[in-house]
Structure 1
Amino acid sequence: MKPKNQRLVLISAAMAAVLLAVVLAMWGLRDRASYFYTPADIVAGKATDGQPARLGGMVKKGSVWRAGDGVTIRFVVTDGKAETLVLFRGIVPDLFREGSGAVAEGKLQGGTFVADTILAKHDERYMPPELGNLAAEHKAGKTLEK
């Protein structure tokens, strides 16, 4: 076999291996893919029942209801245009509270979003407690001593 043909066979085999790896990766991750929706998208019918999805928005003030079992929570997520009821069974993050941002991962079931995971968002001005005093001193114009 000529060297030119050997290179062609080698390049073709390498391309086929890369293509196969991409297809296998996509096949393995197909169940993990989820789309991000807002409450307005859900009201508009863009989300389908039973499909993995993420719902993002603000937790409506006064909407958080906790069941007596201590792990079931129900709340409303709003984006200012529409609202969606969320049902979650589990322990919510420490940053989860009314009036703050949240992302729920789960599935839509009959107009109610049943969440498997809740992710609480903090605002852009968040500062760890350890650095809070340092930032306040810096803003006040104080110099740091070593």
Structure 2
Amino acid sequence: MGSTAWWIAGTLATLAAVGLVALLVRGGARPYETERALAAQLARTGRPAQAEVLALDRQPGGELYAAPMKLALRYADAMGRARQAELHVYIDSELLVNFMPGQAIHVRFDPNDAARIAVDRERSPTEISAAWRRRHP
């Protein structure tokens, strides 16, 4: 095989490796994106409720300020039945204290399917705005 063929093979192998890493990273972020999209939908159509945080577990990865967390929650549905749920949510490190086990947080759930639940970011914020961070380094 000539040097051009080796160069092409090396380039293709590198592109395949980069693509695989991108897929793995993207797949790892999917539960967080799903919860965020559901939260946006339920902000308009969901039923508000309070939930008790049962567990807070840091997950691998994260961003500069936001930690990927798995929240275990207990809440009551529209009929008053106790339910439990696990959510994957990015939470800014300064706000983690609000999500410690035993704390009450605000959630919204789908009135037609109480298993579809997300953090009510209006009443229990998970992130601090970038504008605030620039003013308070």
Tell me which interval the TM-score lies in, with the shorter structure as reference length: 0.3 to 0.5
Which fold has the larger relative contact order, with Cα–Cα distance below 8 Å and residues 6 or more apart in sequence? Answer: 2
Q: Rg bigger for which structure?
A: 1
TM-score between both structures, scaled by the size of structure 2: 0.38
* Higher helix proportion (structure 1 or 2): 2
TM-score between both structures, scaled by the size of structure 1: 0.36
* Higher strand proportion (structure 1 or 2): 2
